[in-house]
């Protein structure tokens, strides 16, 4: 059984990326336990707060979910051709204190997917994640790509991914990432 953690990088209630993560949980299939979470409750990073109060509870909880997972799926929006600030902020908190980076990120399998209303999916955001994940020492899965373009046409008003072709692509992606995440375990 592959234990995967999916993190949506959007706070918006009607987020295409949170909808994509919910669909991933739905189509994960046999042999995959996928928990989906959001970044709600994680404050803006402030070194003074960290020094005074330590790591916030929401960050500590998310850290432990990452540590317990065989692999982590980042479900990323693309804002201004890059990584969303709220998502990068969460990763910055998760890397604090720096002595914890190896425990949380070190050699842990990570994959990135995303949905966008535009025609290019989240291609630039996904590419922008690569140096961040490399810096943190993750093991990035390059066995597949999933960029959902024109998401408004594929995700219905109730936030459900209704397109069967995209659902199958998502299921196939998850199966490949799950195999990668459990290699050598």
- Check: pTM over 0.95? Answer yes or no: yes
pLDDT of residue 185: 62
Residue 143 pLDDT? 87
Q: Are 180 and 144 in contact (CB under 8 A)?
A: no
Kindly indicate the confidence band of residue 144, based on its pLDDT and cuts at 50, 70 and 90. Answer: confident
Residues facing residue 140 across a β-bridge:
110
Would you list the domain boundaries of the chain? 2-182
pLDDT digits (tens, 9 = 90+) for 13-57: 999 999 999 999 999 999 999 999 999 999 999 999 999 999 999
Sequence-distant contacts of 29-34: CB under 8 A, at least 24 apart: 29/171, 29/174, 29/175, 31/1, 31/2, 31/175, 31/178, 32/1, 32/2, 32/4, 32/174, 32/175, 32/178, 33/1, 33/2, 33/3, 33/4, 34/4, 34/5, 34/6, 34/73, 34/174
The highest-level CATH class for domain 2-182 is alpha beta
Query: What is the predicted pLDDT for the residue at 145?
Result: 87
Q: Could you tell me the CA-to-CA distances from 84 to 80, 100, 118, 156, 176 in Å, in that order?
A: 8, 23, 16, 23, 26
The DSSP letter of residue 60 is H
Q: Give tens-digit pLDDT for 68-124.
A: 999 999 999 999 999 999 999 999 999 999 999 999 999 999 999 999 999 999 999
């Amino acid at each position: 059984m592959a234990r995967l953690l999916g993190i949506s990088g959007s706070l918006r209630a009607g987020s295409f990326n949170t909808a994509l993560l919910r669909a991933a949980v739905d189509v994960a299939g046999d042999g995959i336990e996928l928990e989906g979470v959001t970044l709600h409750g994680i404050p803006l990073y402030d070194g003074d707060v960290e020094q005074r109060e330590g790591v916030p509870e929401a960050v500590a909880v998310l850290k432990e979910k990452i540590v317990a997972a065989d692999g982590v799926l980042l479900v990323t929006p693309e804002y201004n051709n890059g990584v969303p600030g709220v998502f990068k902020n969460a990763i910055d908190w998760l890397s604090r204190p720096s002595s914890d980076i190896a425990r949380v990120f070190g050699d842990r399998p990570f994959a990135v997917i995303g949905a966008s209303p535009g025609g290019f999916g989240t291609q630039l955001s996904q590419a922008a994640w690569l140096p961040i994940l490399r810096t943190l020492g993750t093991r990035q899965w390059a066995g597949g790509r999933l960029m959902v373009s024109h998401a408004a046409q594929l995700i219905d008003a109730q936030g459900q991914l209704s397109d069967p072709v995209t659902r199958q692509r998502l299921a196939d992606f998850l199966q490949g990432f799950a195999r990668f995440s459990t290699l050598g375990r």
